[in-house]
Amino acid sequence: MTYSSYQRRTPRRSTTRRRTRRVNVMAGGTMTQPKQWLDTWMQDRPRLMAIGLILLIGLSAFWVFNTDTFYVYKLDVVGTGYLTAAEIEQASGIMNYNIFFVDARSVERALAKLPEVKTVRVTTNLPNRVSINIVERKPEITWLRGNEMYWVDVDGIGFRARTNLAELPVIRDLDQTTVKPGQPIHPDAINAFWAFRRAWVDGPRNVEWSNARGLTFTDERGWKIYLGDANEMAGKLAKLRALVAQLVAQNARIRFIDLGRGEPYYQ
């Protein structure tokens, strides 16, 4: 009986020791493998991160340059009354461009070359928005050169007339001087006209200009009145009124009155 009991215990003690050793070996393995993996990761981390960064940059570049998201296909324009969308798009030079290659200051300089543009402000925003705020030149005078019609703003800058604005005063250029849109139109003529308007607010609105006679208008009697340039315009008009009163009282027949060369001369 004693022997039998020993036989039963001994195998149990022996089995327990073997299992304990296997557990210890496995425990040692599970602790060693993560440490090796962690060491390998720490060594390869810079290379793996570099590869990941390159892939990210590549994907970003593909998205930016190979999709329509960042390309300019439309301009947000405010402030225009005469300029058309097609004119602005062509002058901007950025249609179908990637937004990252659009320089707002360069676009402003390009649009400022349009004769109708007085001031312009351009801003860009992602993903593909270009906002353009334009202040156009305001037409103050209609300048006629033969069959050509231009507008002149308060600064004397000429630009193409888009329509016939009947409310504008008219200067007809008898010399048909060359007009370059975006540049001053005949400063002597424009200065003479504004001096005339200041001195006679309700005066004739349709006048002529020639280098020989200066500013000219035809009064209600059909008399041609030559005023010359802007110098002493108020004094010339004062002399004109006094002279016309005398000539009307005399029932004189007059073809013209010339005040452009000092004392009035009439015929």
Q: Are residues 149 and 201 in the same domain?
A: yes
Q: Identify the burial level of 255 via C-beta atoms within 10 angstroms of its C-beta, where 0-12 means exposed, 13-18 middle and 19 or more buried.
A: exposed
pLDDT at 226 over 60: yes
Q: Which domain holds residue 114?
A: 69-136
Q: Give residue 242's identity as a one-letter amino acid code.
A: A
pLDDT at 263: 87
pLDDT at 67: 75
pLDDT at 143 over 60: yes
User: If pLDDT is split at 50, 70 and 90, which confidence band does 2 have?
Assistant: very low
The pTM of the full predicted model, rounded to 2 decimals, is 0.75
pLDDT at 11: 39
Burial per residue of 57-88, b for 16 or more beta-carbon CB atoms within 10 angstroms, e otherwise: eeeeeeeeeeeeebbbeebebeebeebeeeeb
User: If pLDDT is split at 50, 70 and 90, which confidence band does 68 have?
Assistant: confident
Q: Are residues 147 and 260 in the same domain?
A: yes
pLDDT at 65: 54
Interatomic CA distance for residues 253 and 181, integer angstroms: 42
pLDDT at 25: 43
Q: Are residues 5 and 41 in the same domain?
A: yes
Q: Are residues 247 and 159 in the same domain?
A: yes
Q: Which of 110, 136, 162 is the last residue of a domain?
A: 136
Q: What is the mean pLDDT of residues 129-149?
A: 97
Check if the beta carbon of residue 124 is closer than 8 Å to that of residue 130.
Answer: yes
**Which residue is listed with tokens 């006094």?**
242
pLDDT at 117 over 70: yes
Edge-to-edge order in the sheet of strand 76-78: 76-78, 129-136, 117-125
Check if the beta carbon of residue 124 is closer than 8 Å to that of residue 102.
Answer: yes
Domains contained in the chain, number: 3
